Chain A
């Protein structure tokens, strides 16, 4: 039966016929109703709008990023569990091939772009302005727009599987499969449009943080006195600005191909499918370093703090991250050595890829020597950082093995590769964001996450991770390929696949403990803690926890690396005299970024369904938003001296009587 009104096939919009998807549709409906009902019942709508949706405060934006990332972690993790359940035994029929394809595509896209990226960007948002002694980022409202564009893209992508059909061509979305020639459904339009919207937000974040770090450092903080997390964020932002426009262009061309019948990547009419692969990885490989570099920065901070020692080889660490950033732009072909581009090309990219091991090795040894002669305190944050070292080394050495073009002919597209990149991304990024979250949680909220639950979280997660992914190396060497929804009993893969599936359950248990830890800590954790509970070294710990919205009453002055450590040691620059307090200029809240999120979401949705007229009409909303912003002369407000005095007095007086958790 066909129901068509104004060119819209109404009966095809909702995906029907799959019990798992039906269950999700009901769950989504109930959750939405629950949230709306809850907010209305508690009369929290106004609070939500005033305190969060319209905020331009970098700390709150950071927290919103992190909340979204944890939710996306849950979604991507459920996808991962479904894949593991489906391959736990040969010829399982939990998911059919099409559903499995949609699930692994969603898993990849969500974990990289909607979990890893926002988690890191969230922590950067909270921490970086504080670390450089600034009151906000350079462009606070742009920062809010970045978040809301990310959110818009993420939400669009997430509804795909219930409305219209999910993308099913893998997170790499290779042509010609992803083109209209072989995927005529609109599923892959979701990929093109929602990643484009989210990507715009990321590009703005990159620009924002470059300007913030270069222009807004407090007095005395030269480039070579910046904390390592600030350095890695700066370099990451540079890579974003260099690499994301490539993705923007590639996605635009993909959109033209799919929506308007151009032939950039098609097999017909002179298109080139490998052009997509090249453009994708020209962005995609730097993207790996976009997520892993800030993680390196966080580990550097944590190793240093909990060893009570300055970071070893600071200068060579800086040189290493710059070297990694440069090399990251010239290795993309190693993702398709098997394309047949010849021995010379493959040799060149084998060498550049293996060279990345050199600066990475330098960093590894510097971390180890930071701990040497230290006093290593085993907090949860430190445990995550410690576990990173051996696990990441396994990811690193298998990476070198994959980098060798000739050997890659046997690894390519197998589970060996899948195991490798999970050994890089999970220790390199997930361990880092967990470490960072345990470490900076008290700074964000004024209480700590429970350390005992944290250790349960840690051990379950790390053991589960190894049990899940270690077997995949061996499966891959035995000929098991990635993205296959099932395998035969004769293949002999069954025992290791089952072991891997068991591991994923342990992994999931770890994540469940993490969620419970957040719940427990919100309800029961000690609120009366120091603003510097870890005896830390950098400026974010020099102010209150949770941080007052203007960050610093008096901008700190920096005389050395690890500025706060020496301020404490020499007892200078910490006290605040009344006459030093001046009025502080702050940016005003704005609802415009959120409205732009809604506008982009609507236009994106119409484009995805190829309803061009509706898309064109609603695009007026975006233009109206831009015009409105151009005539927005609101240049913020001033915080009165009395208010600052009151706020500062409150937390500074408390400091003597709090429970210190680290001596």
Chain B
């Protein structure tokens, strides 16, 4: 019964699987990962076929039947030859999987092959609760919850976070990487063709996590240049005060500015100030004590702590 079900269900799921985003890469990075996945799938399918086959054969052949009740199984301890065989074959499979894994791991650290001569566009990504902030330092543009990139051009995303840890993932274009406060991680992506691709956070970071998505819009060079020009002409300026407001734990729609927050803070800098406030994260339940965030001179820090204790009781319930 179980097998009938599996036999019926798996091909059905595979058929729908042809449409799955990981198997429809839209750029060289995602394509190289898909090739690795397909290579591993082939070997794994082989393992599944062999073990399921052996399992089905043995269980069927040696099952207890009314006519073999008198059969007393032989005593056997094992077989050195067989045990060497089924140790060696998995080792060979692991080697077959290791080589492309390691080469792909190294390749993914660099500009994708074939795009080395093109100067990559650098985009700083700052993840915050619960939005994505994209800064184009050269163009002097900042966008929130969407990012426009030119097609066929390597893009170097420099990832950091304003607070909690996130993971930056555009499955159609490539694999993911964490964004962490006071750290910077790098990710190269290239889009083959113009198109709109879903990007999202995969690392759980609280109540707004499920909706923490963004759009990657790959455009032709002309469209991209026109968009940059339009932003420079029409978008408002972002002020520091407004920026701090944006960082509060909220959901935002799309926003566009014609300057970047990198002018006053880069959260990847190890000495950058932590600008999130625990008070903004109060929710339901019994509330605990909050401590001062940065180590200051002892006198100053005592004072801050006292202040916080004073208003710590104002927050109750929802």
Contact = CB atoms under 8 A, between A and B. Distances in A.
Contacts of A589: none
Contacts of A377: 64
Interface stretch (A215-223, A478-486, A572-580): A478-486
A598 interface: no
B114 interface: no
B313 A4 contact: yes
Nearest to A100: B210
A371 B57 CA distance: 11
Residue of B17, B23, B54, B73 with most chain A CB atoms under a 10 A cut-off = B73
A459 B1 CA distance: 9
A362 B87 contact: yes
B210 A486 contact: yes
A627 interface: no
Contacts of A166: 285
Nearest to A176: B164
A97 B21 contact: no
B113 interface: no
Contact of B164 (A9, A177, A187, A413): A177
B177 interface: yes
B193 interface: no
Interface string A377-403: 110000000110110011001101100
Interface stretch (B97-105, B141-149, B254-262): B97-105
Contact of A371 (B58, B198, B206, B293): B58
B220 interface: no
Contact of A409 (B33, B52, B86): B33
A313 B90 contact: no
Interface residue tally on B, bucketed by range: 35 or more
B54 A368 contact: yes
Contacts, number: 355
A158 interface: no
A648 B63 CA distance: 37
Contact of B98 (A189, A350, A479): A350
A308 B287 contact: no
A11 B79 CA distance: 69
Contacts of A328: none
A310 B104 CA distance: 45
Given A258-B288, A340-B185, A365 B21 contact: no
B55 interface: yes
B287 A389 contact: no
B163 interface: yes
A180 B291 contact: yes
Interface residues of A, number: 123
B40 A407 contact: yes
A83 to B, nearest CB: 13
Contact of B180 (A1, A165, A273, A463): A273
A463 to B, nearest CB: 6
A479 B21 contact: yes
Contacts of A478: 19-22
A645 interface: no
5 contacts: A308-B72, A393-B48, A406-B105, A467-B5, A477-B23
Given A165-B285, A375-B69, 9 more contacts: A4-B313, A12-B285, A181-B274, A313-B78, A343-B105, A358-B90, A389-B51, A406-B101, A409-B176
Interface of A: 1-2, 4, 9, 11-13, 15-17, 97-98, 101, 164-166, 168-170, 174, 176-177, 180-187, 189, 258-259, 261, 263, 266-270, 273-274, 307-310, 312-316, 336, 338-340, 342-343, 346-347, 350-351, 354-355, 357-358, 361-362, 364-366, 368-369, 371-378, 386-387, 389-390, 393-394, 397-398, 400-401, 404-410, 412-414, 459, 462-463, 466-467, 470-471, 473-474, 477-479, 481-487, 496, 609-610, 663
Interface of B: 1-2, 5-6, 9-10, 13, 16-17, 19-23, 30, 32-34, 36-37, 40-41, 44, 47-48, 51-52, 54-55, 58-59, 62-64, 68-69, 71-79, 82-83, 86-87, 89-91, 93-94, 97-98, 101-102, 104-106, 108-109, 129, 163-165, 167, 169, 171, 174-178, 180-183, 185-186, 198, 200-210, 274, 276, 278-279, 281-295, 313, 316-318
